[in-house]
Amino acid sequence: MNRPETKTYVRWYSIAVWFGVVMNLIFCLTAWFAPERILKLFKLPRVRRTMWLRNVGMLLVNLSLFNAGAALDPLRYPFFSWSVPIARFIAGVFFFQVGLADLRHSTERPKSFVWLMIFDGGMALICGALLYLGGVGRSSPTRPHVGTSNW
């Protein structure tokens, strides 16, 4: 865990997660406070009631807080560090189902969601690869597995 390249991978993981947090905040604050702009950006029909889109914005702020915690110290809590690419992968699969598989015909404009699939799927691959290459969560002679006792 003390190899220089390990620190480099972990540092790049933090940078990638912070980039994702910034992008999330741009999206979610717009969805929360100016939902009509999100609808226009994705070429979705205007609606009078935007509570659900605003709720998504608020929830994405909460998720971004957890991501920021993982970015601050990826080695301290590996579970939370790995939750970032896992959550991005889940989002990527969801947007694949909506955008390309047109799951349950859930939108009139499924192709509008392809960019979200690409972003979340790409972030999942990048963050997951950086964590793996950085050895985050793997035990080493100097660092025991989380949860093991010294007894």
Q: Say whether pLDDT at 109 is over 90.
A: no
Rounded Cα–Cα distance for residues 76 and 94 (Å): 29
pLDDT tens digits, one per residue of 15-72:
999 999 999 999 999 999 999 999 999 888 899 999 999 999 999 999 999 999 999 9
Q: Is residue 106 domain-resident? A: yes
Q: Count up the domains in the chain and report the number.
A: 1
Rounded Cα–Cα distance for residues 99 and 96 (Å): 5
Q: Say whether pLDDT at 2 is over 80.
A: no
Q: Is residue 139 domain-resident? A: no
Q: Is residue 49 domain-resident? A: yes
Q: Is residue 69 domain-resident? A: yes
- In which domain, by residue range, is 114 found? 4-133
- What is the pTM (predicted TM-score) of this model? 0.83
* pLDDT the model gives residue 106: 75
Contacts of 77 (CB under 8 A, 6+ apart): 69, 70, 146
Q: Looking at residues 90-116, what average pLDDT do you find?
A: 86
Rounded Cα–Cα distance for residues 147 and 29 (Å): 38
Q: Is residue 140 domain-resident? A: no
* pLDDT the model gives residue 110: 82
Q: Is residue 148 domain-resident? A: no
Q: Is residue 117 domain-resident? A: yes
Q: Is residue 142 domain-resident? A: no
* pLDDT the model gives residue 51: 93
